[in-house]
Chain A
Amino acid sequence: MATNMSDAKRRMAGPELRQKRTPMLSDSWLCAIFIAPSVLMLALMVFYPFVMLIRYSGLTFSMLRPDVAPVHVGLGNYIDLLTDTGVWHRFAFTGKFVLATLSIQFTVGIAAAYAFQRDFKGRDVLFTLALMPMMFCPIVVGFLWQYMFNSEWGLVNWLVSLLGVAKIDWLGQSENALWAVAVADAWTWTPFVILLATAGFRGIPKDIRESAQVDGASPAFTFFHVTLPMSLPIIVIALLLRVIDAFKQFDLFVAMTGGGPGSETETAAYSLSKMAFGYFHTGQASAFAIILLVVIFGLSMVFVRYLTSLSNRI
């Protein structure tokens, strides 16, 4: 603008122009300033440790022995871990646990969400109460359920004895312990599934429900062919979050079984923490962490892919 103006005009418009020339932050600079703190935090807390993690995973060393020089082993740590049947056992156990707890959470959660669809007296109070377990600290939940599942004086065995069945050693045997911990985990997280499934169900337009009624669909047919498939995107999100979380389950096993008997109820995450901060095999633990990351990442990708294909349609 200014270059097109005659001198006279420029002189007249002087103060105004000078004012306009004061450095103004362009949009891109402003954006950069706003995201800088988060980028800095990420760099410090995520990128740097991640790079170090990859570096450590190629070394044999222990954080406790900085005096011992690290030895480069290349992929040695990975090969050791992947050929160790114990590691495979941990992953298999983790997988079983994830399946067990998620099947409880989603069956109960979706059924409860369906029940909460109906208008009944005290529904809102009951709904709020049903969400409470989510607000407990996991380690507290662990100790709570450890008492409940205590084979001698636990509440669960007392209930079992009422049925005339012999006492069950809930936490002393890996099969039973898996289900006991799964129940504790489900108790905490089913409310989350209820919450999201309810949101999904409520998102279905009234016209669609009425269409199904007019089309002659029974409530069960409507549930399985309309309600459930149409809330699938949100249920898959719940599933994704729960899978990731269940896969890292750690606190409940620490509190309820301590990984025992032996190391039979050690999940992958539990095992990793023992390796890293129990035995301080820092290099090997780094490799284990990377393997765990790849597994969780792969699982998540499957869900995210599915979710994308779903949301393109619905």
Chain B
Amino acid sequence: MATVEIDNLTVRFGEVTAVDAFTMTLDQGEFVVLLGPSGCGKTTTLRCVAGLQSCTSGEIRFDGTPVTNLVPAERNVGMVFQFVSLYPHLTVRQNIAFPLRARGVRRAEIAKKIDRVATVFMIGDILGHYVVGLPPGARQKVALARAVVREPAVLLLDEPLSGVEEQYREEMRWELRHFQKELGITTVYVTHDQREAMSLADRVVLMRDGKTIQSGPPAALFDDPADRFAASFIGSPSMNFLNLKVGADGLSVASDQTLLVSPPQQVIDRYRAQGLEEVILGIRPHAVELANGAAVDNNVWPAQLVDAALVGRDLQADFSIGGQTIKAELPFDADVGGASVLRLPPERCFFFAPDGSRLG
């Protein structure tokens, strides 16, 4: 268990910069999720921490001690790979014992440590099995047990649940979270699945093109996205974006000048200061309200129903507003007809400049 500092980490593969001056500090016992689309540099960052990938520049420190030039074996990290890489020729017990045997730990000591992790991960009954034929969930637990058995400074998880079937994934997430807190081990978890990130992390680091876009507790990323990319990447179904035109007396839907928006004053100040002609409005589908019967006003617009489907207890409906589509997540009994009236509560609208930066 240790603090981990990643300082200006840069990795280049030829012309491509996979990780670009990435900086992050993990507190002891913290669970950080690196989130981002594929190719954003999250796995490369993780591999640098493990020592499997050398970096072009920058430094990595465990508890203040630089480890940048150490090989993986000298770093004391535990890692679980995307495709569970258990040793197929060994039993569960031998798999878990492997990192200890590799370091010449005494037999009695090994047995004691295995007993302890077997209890934590509840795999005592399969210790004698070979790993081939074990269900994916059990293999994952064995992989985790092997990663933590020698009490590593940091636990690295590279999309460890991607091989687990959807139905078990939720359960595994809860268990993983539980184990991590119980063991109090500093953890870096890489995933492209925002739901996984939101449910596991103490802190989510959203990455794109090798850089940090936003870092913070899951709720902060959801409620206060740093830019349009963060807003669109997090949340399911993803945020609606409407193109607005800047007029003399405010904002209106680009394709229909009669549909007006009233943004907060600070947004007005900002787009005026930047001299923007276009602004993007973002609103999450669950924030869109049905206001049938209400008079058309600022943020209250007539809309044409395009398509609707029941998803569990929600009604997901696509509306057309001045030619632009907007998705709404409504109660299942909402009365959507051919023509409806939608209300976009001003306090739940986000505004972005055309380059994606946040206006308010």
Contacts and interface: CB of A to CB of B under 8 A. Distances in A.
Interface of A: 205, 207-208, 210-218, 221, 225-226, 229-230, 232, 313-314
Contacts of A207: 81-83, 85
Contacts of A218: 73, 102
A41 B74 CA distance: 62
Contacts of A229: 89
A208 B85 contact: yes
Interface in B52-103: 52, 71-74, 76-79, 81-83, 85-89, 98-99, 101-103
B132 interface: yes
A314 B132 contact: yes
Contact of A230 (B76, B77, B78, B87): B87
Interface string B36-60: 0000000000000011100000000
B65 to A, nearest CB: 17
B130 interface: yes
B83 A205 contact: yes
A229 B89 CA distance: 7
B188 to A, nearest CB: 13
Given A225-B98, A313-B88, A214 B83 contact: no
Given A205-B85, A213-B72, A214-B156, 18 more contacts: A208-B87, A210-B50, A210-B52, A210-B81, A210-B85, A211-B87, A214-B50, A214-B52, A214-B72, A214-B73, A215-B73, A215-B99, A216-B102, A216-B103, A218-B73, A225-B98, A230-B88, A314-B132
A193 B334 CA distance: 72
Nearest to A232: B89
A205 B52 CA distance: 15
Contacts of A208: 85, 87
B89 A221 contact: no
Contact of B87 (A210, A213, A226): A226
Contacts of B87: 208, 211, 226, 230
B146 interface: yes
Between B50, B52, B89, B99, the greatest number of chain A beta carbons within 10 A of the residue's beta carbon is seen for B89
Contacts of B102: 212, 215-218, 221, 225
A286 B280 CA distance: 93
Contact of B99 (A216, A226, A314): A216
B46 to A, nearest CB: 11
Nearest to A221: B102
Interface of B: 50-52, 71-74, 76-79, 81-83, 85-89, 98-99, 101-103, 130, 132, 146, 150, 156
B225 to A, nearest CB: 34
B83 A313 contact: no
Given A210-B81, A221-B102, A314-B132, A215 B146 contact: yes
Most buried by B among A207, A214, A230, A314: A214
Nearest to A210: B52
13 contacts: A207-B82, A208-B85, A210-B72, A211-B81, A213-B52, A214-B79, A214-B156, A216-B74, A217-B98, A217-B102, A230-B89, A314-B89, A314-B132
A313 B132 contact: yes
Nearest to A213: B72
Nearest to A228: B89
A216 B73 contact: yes
Contacts of B156: 214
B132 A215 contact: no
Nearest to A211: B85
A43 to B, nearest CB: 41
A211 B156 CA distance: 11
Contacts of B99: 215-217
B196 to A, nearest CB: 20
A216 B52 CA distance: 12
A217 B87 CA distance: 13
Nearest to B87: A226
B142 to A, nearest CB: 12
Contacts of B86: 211
A313 B89 contact: yes
B77 A214 contact: yes
Contacts of B89: 229-230, 232, 313-314
A310 B82 CA distance: 26
B143 to A, nearest CB: 9
Nearest to B91: A313
Contacts of B74: 216
Nearest to A222: B102
Contacts of B146: 215
Nearest to A230: B89
A232 B90 CA distance: 13
Contacts of B83: 205, 207
Nearest to B103: A216
Contacts of B130: 313
B150 to A, nearest CB: 8
A205 B84 CA distance: 11
B71 A213 contact: yes
B81 to A, nearest CB: 4
Contacts of A210: 50, 52, 72, 79, 81, 85
A211 B144 CA distance: 12
Nearest to B74: A216
A66 B168 CA distance: 78
B164 to A, nearest CB: 16
Contacts of A313: 88-89, 130, 132
A224 to B, nearest CB: 11
A213 B85 CA distance: 12
Contacts of A205: 83, 85
